[in-house]
Amino acid sequence: MDNTYKLLDEAVALLRRRGFGQPRVAVILGSGLGDLADGLAAPVAVDYSEIPGFAPSTVPGHAGRLVFGAWEGVSVVAMQGRYHGYEGYSQRQIAFALWTLAALGAKSLLVTNAAGGLNPEFRPGDLMLIADHINFTGGNPLIGPNPQRFGPRFPDLSRAYSPRLREIARETARELGIPLREGVYLAVTGPCYETPAEIRSFRRLGADAVGMSTVPEVIAAVHAGLEVAGISCITNMAAGMGAEKLSHEEVIEAAARVKSKFAALAARLIVRIGRDAK
């Protein structure tokens, strides 16, 4: 074993010293949802740069921090800002963050992201419950020595997105009157957006949405025994399927338009998951 355990113990010790309790639910907040964590009661926050084993930021002004607090009585740990492979982080570094959440005691993970729509029935602004994923990043966060403390060398991914949590998500969306699509998320590394030929190939592979995150996090979370739910915000239709050119500004704008709906669903879901925790 490498020094993963040692660093994890140090990370958890630091976070406990700084006031982190045992979270019921972990959340990773993607593009546009970052300030959801600001609504936590009695929050404590620690910058990634202070946490042992957490990768230093490669991006100037990259505000990455871990926030602990409560939401309607449910204790939550939130990753505010995530590590993306395109920034140059190894997937192992992404796994380390998820292992830390598991080591803090989280039992469930809600992961959110912004994604491009491939399913022709989708429209920008739709929310999609992730039913399954296709790892097209060319990497895997579990490559390297296996931290057996968390999970097996060869983890099962036959139900990476918990059927139980998906049912809860559908119910929650119905109660809130928010339409929820469901589909397969395919992850690429980025950072460039896809070509139309790539998008056609991903549709043939069975993808409904494409993005640059989430899959490494979910693999590491499932490995560590977390029950996972994922929701994508479809911010644009992918290349060759809609608008002429893709820009990050367009993605941010679309994410901002549906933010209230997305935030309402995510917040409610966190509470439901926390209260129904096994």
Short-list 25, 191, 195, CA closest to 112: 25
User: Which is closer to another protein, CB of 23 or CB of 30?
Assistant: 30
Decide if residue 245 touches another protein (CB under 8 A): yes
Strand partners, 184: 132
Kindly tell me which residue out of 114, 115, 142, 239 binds another protein, with binding defined by CB under 8 A.
239
- Could you tell me the smallest distance in angstroms from the CB atom of residue 205 to another protein? 7
Strand partners, 25: 76, 108
- 69-108 mask for another protein (x: CB under 8 A)? ----------------xxxx--------------------
**Catalytic-residue membership of 213:** yes
Kindly tell me which residue out of 13, 41, 59, 256 binds another protein, with binding defined by CB under 8 A.
59
**Catalytic-residue membership of 133:** no
Residue 277 one-letter amino acid: A
Cα–Cα dist 271/268, whole Å: 5
Task: Tell me which long-range contacts 1-6 makes (C-beta under 8 A, separation of at least 24).
Answer: 1/145, 1/147, 2/144, 2/145, 4/53, 4/96, 4/99, 4/145, 4/147, 5/147, 5/149
Decide if residue 49 touches another protein (CB under 8 A): no
User: Which is closer to another protein, CB of 10 or CB of 198?
Assistant: 198
Given the rule CB under 8 A, which residues bind another protein? Answer: 58-59, 85-88, 138, 189-198, 200-201, 204-205, 239-240, 244-248, 251
